[in-house]
Chains A and B, each alone.
Chain A
Amino acid sequence: MKKLLGAVAVVSLLATGAASAADVPAAAPMVTKSGWAPVNAWDGAYVSGALGLIRQHADINQNVSSAFNQTTIGDPLLGAGAVTTNIMDQHIVRYGRRAR
């Protein structure tokens, strides 16, 4: 008896499913022309635009090295043939801490 009832139930379910598939139209698209889909719209591509406040911090540390080497042969004040070599080295370190 139980087997018979079970078989009837299965047949009934199958019939119900077949009827549903035949009678109910295909599932409506998640997003319709006339309305928005509230949840599944999260899935997929998107574009966005925003305005924002920005705070910028910055650091700078500058190091300048400069070499100057000049040789003069025949300085007018010293006379022809006089040789003078002037060597200058300059080193500048600049440091600016992060601005907050």
Chain B
Amino acid sequence: MSGTGDGRDNGIEAVFSVGYNFVFSSWLIGAQMDASWNRNKDVVTRMLGTNTNTGSQVVNSNVIVPGSHSTLATGVIDFSLQKNWTVSELARIGYFVTPKTLVYGGLGWSVSGFDLINNFGFVTSTSGCAAGAGAYGGAAGAPCTCTLTGLGWTAAGEQDFGGWRGFLQFKSINYRAKDVTILGQNNGVSSRTGIDTFVPITVTTVQGMTDVRHVSASTLELNAGITIPLGVAFNRWRP
């Protein structure tokens, strides 16, 4: 009833931040909000694995001999998880190694938007969440969009260059797992009545499908950038 698979993906992203610092002697505390997006949609983790499919069928009839049978099959799983954007709120604390050099760490919460894509698209459902991109002949459809939240932390160094600062930051986010549940579009009761080959016929169908996807993710980032203090900037622009 289970299987494994693996893959990897790296990409490039742009990060913009705003924040506020308080300096106490050699220490700094502050709050920062990061926003990033995967501009080129190139951070797409493909998850390959196997699946197990079990089925059973029972036929009851007042005319033919009742019977039953079961099936067991294995197959391949092929999903992609594409990260689109992230917003993080971080509290940070730093220490001035020199008056112009700061090392700091941060801790906070992040929320990210993902597209979950079923590359097989074997299930028809009420939304695009289960419809794949048709890579293997499946029905084309929109990916399943969901958000994941998680704890994030950073470790970084920042250097003042006289009016602007440069920094190198390592950031990790461990997203909490989330269940994405899809219900089949034909769930419910349907009935058909008519004449078929001169015989009155009534067909009643009860159908139910539930597709639960347990999704989790984590990211590691290494960012390099520049910081512009707003006080300095405003003062410089002041006539």
Measured CB to CB, the residues of A under 8 A from B are: 29, 31-33, 36-76, 78-80, 82-100
A54 and B221 within 8 A (CB): yes
Closest to B57 in A: A88
Measured CB to CB, the residues of B under 8 A from A are: 1-23, 28, 36, 38, 43, 45-64, 77, 79, 81, 83, 96, 99-100, 102, 116, 123, 160, 162-163, 165, 167, 169, 171, 177, 184, 196-232, 235-236, 238
Contacts of A91 in B (CB 8 A): 53-55
B45 and A57 within 8 A (CB): yes
Contacts of A74 in B (CB 8 A): 196, 199-202
Nearest 10 Cβ contacts at the A-B interface:
A50-B225, A52-B223, A36-B163, A96-B47, A94-B51, A76-B197, A48-B227, A96-B49, A61-B214, A99-B7
* Given the contacts A70-B205, A76-B196, A38 and B99 also touching, CB distance less than 8 Å: yes
Dominant SS among interface residues on chain A: strand
Closest to B163 in A: A36
B47 and A56 within 8 A (CB): no
Task: Find B57's partner among A48, A76, A87 (CB 8 Å cutoff).
Answer: A87
Q: How far is the CA of A1 from the CA of B10 in the complex (A)?
A: 82
Can you list 28 contacts pairing A with B, beta carbon distance less than 8 Å?
A36-B163, A38-B99, A42-B23, A48-B228, A49-B17, A50-B14, A51-B13, A53-B222, A54-B13, A54-B222, A56-B10, A57-B217, A60-B214, A61-B215, A72-B201, A84-B59, A87-B57, A89-B55, A91-B53, A92-B53, A92-B54, A94-B77, A95-B50, A96-B47, A96-B48, A96-B49, A99-B9, A100-B8
